[in-house]
Structure 1
């Protein structure tokens, strides 16, 4: 396996605290030299459990072993001016500095100095809310402010806090993409950039299916938590294949019934029959449930009948799944090319033979431990670079080496050997031929488009991107009014080609391929190859092409044929299996979260591969399996299972790191505030805010472990205090005391009340239909990336085919007659 590193020669100074800690890990995976600065006594990650074999120690913390893998440790006395002088000198030679969210005075001064300099590194920074850098930060507050919490859980109960610290994860992933774009721009154009990520916006970007702002704007509808049924929303599109059935004139108002069901053996499964294979599902259904019963009768063959009887259909699905064991249901479902995946825990993931065949859990030698431990490998699989599974560094392991190189003048980022193309944005002048569909893939290429790439989305009326069919307005309904589609495809151009005709593939290879730098797809592994558009077909024609493929299970392994869409990949990830109260079903996640987390890490990998292409002239194939990327959403649940054999119990809204940590009722219907105290000082400040000196004075509550023993009592006291107040006012009062807190925002709050988000949405009209679309959740040099509306179907056919390819009217007409352009 070749081992040229996509980010080889890049130097990253990692000052990150927990919110952006994962960013440096992914940059190190792709070959960057990441110098992680920590205090002489170690950073906070080293002190956080769980620990190897349950034994605490500076080198034994599983969060450290997971999130600092591949980095170098520079341990300094961070109270000394001399240390910060050294840090500044390193920063001035670096490509990127990852800033801490909670900044000491010295860290803030360093960043201000770098900002004022004419030359220097790119800076990746983050805040909880845009324009309010002073706010105290927690993942719970990010999940609340971003609308994620409002979408998770069961009706008439406090919303469920998801496993995995998903607000921090998404911000870190966005940080990876921003850092790769900055390295690309610096290496090829000698430009420095600054990105500021909003944790609120990053979290909100994962809710655009569940809490789409257009549903609120058009229908006045806010998603309602429905537990195992996911979410309920009164406004959806007409469903799969509506364009083929001709039902294009009205919008069906239905509940968003769930796709997660209990099975005979007490397990859970995400299940939805493939709509285009309903007849085959009916045979299976009759085999299990008997002839003449339920969905086995003739009228259920009609998709519009099913749409009109979804509540009844949901009951039949419950009965059907309860009649089969989980693994049997999944096996038969996948054999029938339906969407069937198990709701997994870390134990299921750790024992999955598919992942073991793909060598996803290599044993990594850790000299500081004197042993090897298994860890989940990077989700990146580059054809030109074998990502090495590396250990996390011992405390200060690289201090002497780094400082010696600094003093010798040999520490620094490698300068570029190629020049980028003209344009104001990192990817200006680069072109992407995009075959992605649904949400997970298009969101990847949307980020590339927002960063300046010319992304041409290939679709057709005969093979429509089904995301176009969901979330429509009450009037003016049409193929181009999908509110969800509008959020996944900004800045792109649309070209309609019929991929089911061999002549179309020849046309693509002859006329389009020579003009593009990148080809992307998230189809099943064999789809592009069946069309003659796989890497084995395209790279011989264009050896400098970067090809990205993002299938669910990867191109190899015993489950590579498995199909899944958002909720199915989420079930595989382990997040639902480890969230919520232990006495409730493990299905409280209301968002198709994995669709949105893949985008920034995949975009980062493509940018890194493109940078390598620009410097070497050689293209490559990048695979990221959605399943493998998704299991990294877990916090320490998976590595604890792998290393210690411990299956982490579900713990509701509690946290192993903070007490209190929860969601508390406020005045009004379904109104809540998120509050956490991560330090003893925050606990005392909270007691003072509540006027509970009695709690503050209790010695048994002075430390976090003591408070854990009285958690129910503390939660009750907080709920009594918040219950007749306004969540926004409570959060503001607590933030003034440096306590992480936030109102739980619904999409209505985000659109109507939260002034900090007003510039985050792109507002435009398509005909008489008003739209709102999310921008990227970071600013680039102080402004959001330029954002244009998503394209109408085939909107750019003439612009591309005649304006750029130079086809005359007769040739174009023949392509239409031959159904190549359609």
Structure 2
């Protein structure tokens, strides 16, 4: 019995996003029934295929589900489908992406009869706005979302990862909506209705980048494969044996990296202390350190990096992931069965230790029911039918308290989503060691100018939270933290694995204070990993996940994304995990520990190749900007400097439309070119003709003409372009927020919404220690005199300590014993 075993889920339509959302629900015990037409879900035809001819992508999205076949042409089709919906708790709807032969139904009328029903509908762009009717694919959406243009060779074309990213990202957002609604229904009885924009869900990967680029416009360009602003080095390099992922985010890490390579003179050069300085000397620096990396193996350097606390990691082959016993032990790799083929696939990465997800399962054949007994289903649905009107005027997580020990991106994104959904999130920093996304510069000039209050990245990730400062290295600070934790529901940290336990704030201690507490550690590799002490950024997680091995040209190096991909993905998975644990805590009164390994959260993006290679034992084929199914498919130059458009042809009708638009009507009537495989024989010729047409047009003009002909196309935008994107503006995606030291500034909304507009942003990110008195007095009952004493002793405060002030404080404490 899983946490969600009292929930029955019906999945209709066909989209990767809704399929992945429903599979995550199945992972935690929900009875998921997938509706398919007689020909099967179109995703069953998605490449890559196993040796037995099964779609590896479909398999990853659908194990542990049942399949129900309904033919829309049958007289009782609507009646049967309506009965299935009325008998479920959660309806997951992908029809706006592809109806997949689903009979027409009136969901509004059904929800009126079943007010306890939780409803999630996904679409590429939402039901309203200029892009609402656009044809789309994974790659065209990522281009529009700012995830393509900054990747690849400086001269172009931009390079994009293969499909499968938007389905996982949007699926996680859909699961967050469904799981928070499941919790809210337990609390208040009523269901909720959500819409999910797949386009907007992809923006979660770069929502902070768009704001940083406002002040760094000179760096918003491609600077080469595996070279990205704002961090250098942050790429993949050859060694004596194997490839090594390197990231140096702080001056200390750069010095340690240089010392490790015997290049101390570079580490001591103050003109190279910060990444922005090093980015001006990329070629010179790489000429010095690249040859030295080739003197030892990737594993040797990894061992050295662990000793020196440098975020470096070997870049595994897909085969390495499959052979890693730790990944199997932790459930990051699980067995699945489809037909007669046995394979290995990425599992569910939400590693709840008390109520873990299922480890693998079987992929249903079309129309195949799987045995998934569940108790209390009839009781739960009857009860839900008796409630009053929808409770969507109350935020799903209202009344939940979260203590947030996290810094940077992954943890704060997790807790930001919880806050957006209504939780009271209390962010704990220290004046000695504030969130490093406020800036790593501790010089007096930076501190005195309050620059740590002006960092756009911090403001974007910490809205809707309250903030206090506590020095957790002091007994008084730890005692106050424990008092807060005693009344909390959730605690999140993304420190190194031993930090909180060494402070006496590990789960073994906290659960004695609060048995219902859900505690999540968001480390890079997991608390029980052999690499538990490895320092990791989002880029490190991507490098170590296997994903770069399937990106790029067949004869080229592995290719990374331009963003710290792993951070956002870790944050989304972390939020999903705590919501499941919260449901269990409310049901059984039991808290639990969540051991989230962020590197494992990246593995689903390589899932199809992991599955295929586990059977065939052959390494994945890389297609560059081409596609294993869609021909043509690629990123094409438009008029002007560095302007590009992504185009994908997914059907014979779309091919004919494209041929007419680009002035080749002869191709549209040539019967020999109706199949993608036939067109692959002249792919070079087709691409040259497309670019001859696109290169004479502005990118937006080309997109408009192609979309008017129902051809999937998306301009390759920079993240900063999203601030003025007409579709996002029409949907009020950017909200204006006022904050001290910053003023009025835009904030991105969540991609899930319950009405026409987004969830409102209730408050800006807290200034350092902004809510000290409000929380210490209002929640813990401290007097003004006690708060003043804590301030005088440096336990709390509202100003970051400079490096000199921190050193003086340490000397003073040392002298006093």
Equivalent residue for 1:426, pick from 396, 402, 407: 396
Equivalent residue for 2:22, pick from 14, 21, 24: 24
Cα gap change, 1:18 to 1:418, in 2 (>3 Å): closer
CA distance in 2, matches of 1:683, 1:735: 13
CA distance in 2, matches of 1:381, 1:267: 29
C-alpha offsets along residues 739-767 of structure 1, whole Å, 9 cap, x if unaligned?
22112222343222424346212223434
Mapped contact 1:261–1:271 kept (Cα < 8 A): no
Query: Paired residue for 2:771?
Result: 796
Mapped contact 1:37–1:76 kept (Cα < 8 A): yes
- SS of the residue corresponding to residue 794 of structure 1 reads coil
Deviation at 1:789, TM superposition (A): 1.5
Cα gap change, 1:760 to 1:592, in 2 (>3 Å): same
Q: Which one is further off, 377-386 or 479-488? A: 377-386
Unaligned runs of 5+ in 2: 798-817
CA distance in 1, matches of 2:275, 2:12: 57
Mapped contact 2:431–2:796 kept (Cα < 8 A): no
Equivalent residue for 2:659, pick from 687, 690, 710: 687
Query: Paired residue for 2:213?
Result: 215
CA distance in 1, matches of 2:212, 2:481: 35
Deviation at 1:149, TM superposition (A): 1.0
Deviation at 1:491, TM superposition (A): 0.6
Equivalent residue for 2:83, pick from 72, 89, 95: 89
Equivalent residue for 1:285, pick from 239, 257, 261: 261
CA distance in 1, matches of 2:279, 2:671: 59
Query: Paired residue for 1:12?
Result: 9
* Count of residue correspondences: 780
Query: Paired residue for 1:238?
Result: none
CA distance in 2, matches of 1:723, 1:776: 35
Mapped contact 2:244–2:312 kept (Cα < 8 A): no
Query: Paired residue for 1:620?
Result: 592
Equivalent residue for 2:411, pick from 426, 441, 460: 441
Matched, 1:818 2:793: yes
Query: Paired residue for 2:812?
Result: none
Equivalent residue for 2:422, pick from 428, 431, 452: 452
- SS of the residue corresponding to residue 194 of structure 2 reads strand
Mapped contact 1:494–1:796 kept (Cα < 8 A): yes
Mapped contact 1:164–1:634 kept (Cα < 8 A): no
Cα gap change, 1:714 to 1:413, in 2 (>3 Å): farther
Q: Which aligned pairs between 1:383-782 and structure 2 lie closer than 5 A?
A: 383-396=353-366, 398-399=368-369, 410=378, 413=381, 415=383, 424-469=394-439, 478-509=451-482, 511-757=483-729, 759-766=732-739, 767=741, 769-782=743-756
Q: Which one is further off, 479-488 or 753-762? A: 753-762
Query: Paired residue for 1:102?
Result: 97
Matched, 1:295 2:266: yes
Matched, 1:783 2:757: yes
Mapped contact 1:18–1:168 kept (Cα < 8 A): yes
Query: Paired residue for 1:242?
Result: none
Q: Which one is further off, 802-811 or 435-444? A: 802-811
- SS of the residue corresponding to residue 438 of structure 1 reads coil
- SS of the residue corresponding to residue 362 of structure 2 reads coil
Matched, 1:270 2:246: yes
Matched, 1:126 2:101: no
Mapped contact 2:48–2:628 kept (Cα < 8 A): no
Deviation at 1:821, TM superposition (A): 1.9
Mapped contact 2:97–2:124 kept (Cα < 8 A): no
CA distance in 1, matches of 2:380, 2:365: 22
TM-score, normalised relative to structure 1: 0.88
Query: Paired residue for 1:73?
Result: 67
Cα gap change, 1:809 to 1:224, in 2 (>3 Å): same
- SS of the residue corresponding to residue 802 of structure 1 reads helix
CA distance in 2, matches of 1:409, 1:530: 44
CA distance in 2, matches of 1:135, 1:313: 45
CA distance in 1, matches of 2:659, 2:108: 35
Deviation at 1:393, TM superposition (A): 3.7
CA distance in 2, matches of 1:796, 1:106: 52
Query: Paired residue for 1:161?
Result: 160
C-alpha offsets along residues 403-447 of structure 1, whole Å, 9 cap, x if unaligned?
x99xx9959748589999998101001100111111011100100
Mapped contact 2:146–2:718 kept (Cα < 8 A): yes
Deviation at 1:709, TM superposition (A): 2.1
Query: Paired residue for 1:247?
Result: none
Alpha carbon RMSD of aligned pairs, Å?
3.2
CA distance in 2, matches of 1:278, 1:702: 55
C-alpha offsets along residues 702-735 of structure 1, whole Å, 9 cap, x if unaligned?
1111112222121111111111112222222222
C-alpha offsets along residues 230-281 of structure 1, whole Å, 9 cap, x if unaligned?
3236xxxxxxxxxxxxxxxxxxxxx865444333446342242764466655
- SS of the residue corresponding to residue 197 of structure 1 reads strand
- SS of the residue corresponding to residue 212 of structure 1 reads helix
CA distance in 2, matches of 1:282, 1:745: 36
- SS of the residue corresponding to residue 230 of structure 1 reads coil
Deviation at 1:27, TM superposition (A): 1.0
C-alpha offsets along residues 350-381 of structure 1, whole Å, 9 cap, x if unaligned?
233432443533434x3x63464322221122
Mapped contact 2:550–2:621 kept (Cα < 8 A): yes
CA distance in 2, matches of 1:436, 1:118: 40
Mapped contact 2:210–2:722 kept (Cα < 8 A): no
Equivalent residue for 1:44, pick from 42, 45, 49: 42
Query: Paired residue for 1:346?
Result: 318
CA distance in 2, matches of 1:426, 1:348: 41
TM-score, normalised relative to structure 2: 0.88
Mapped contact 1:449–1:455 kept (Cα < 8 A): yes
CA distance in 2, matches of 1:449, 1:541: 24
Deviation at 1:450, TM superposition (A): 0.2
Equivalent residue for 1:62, pick from 53, 56, 60: 56
CA distance in 2, matches of 1:588, 1:373: 27
C-alpha offsets along residues 162-194 of structure 1, whole Å, 9 cap, x if unaligned?
135212221111111111112222232122222
Mapped contact 2:626–2:634 kept (Cα < 8 A): yes
Cα gap change, 1:157 to 1:588, in 2 (>3 Å): farther
CA distance in 1, matches of 2:456, 2:562: 18
CA distance in 2, matches of 1:299, 1:161: 36
- SS of the residue corresponding to residue 612 of structure 2 reads helix
CA distance in 1, matches of 2:440, 2:690: 40
Cα gap change, 1:588 to 1:156, in 2 (>3 Å): farther
Deviation at 1:738, TM superposition (A): 2.4
- SS of the residue corresponding to residue 564 of structure 1 reads coil
Mapped contact 1:95–1:122 kept (Cα < 8 A): yes
Deviation at 1:103, TM superposition (A): 4.7
- SS of the residue corresponding to residue 674 of structure 1 reads strand
Cα gap change, 1:477 to 1:694, in 2 (>3 Å): farther
Deviation at 1:636, TM superposition (A): 0.6
CA distance in 2, matches of 1:219, 1:284: 31
CA distance in 1, matches of 2:139, 2:293: 34
Cα gap change, 1:164 to 1:272, in 2 (>3 Å): farther
C-alpha offsets along residues 494-519 of structure 1, whole Å, 9 cap, x if unaligned?
1101122233222322x212221111
C-alpha offsets along residues 776-812 of structure 1, whole Å, 9 cap, x if unaligned?
1222233212213211111111110112222112211
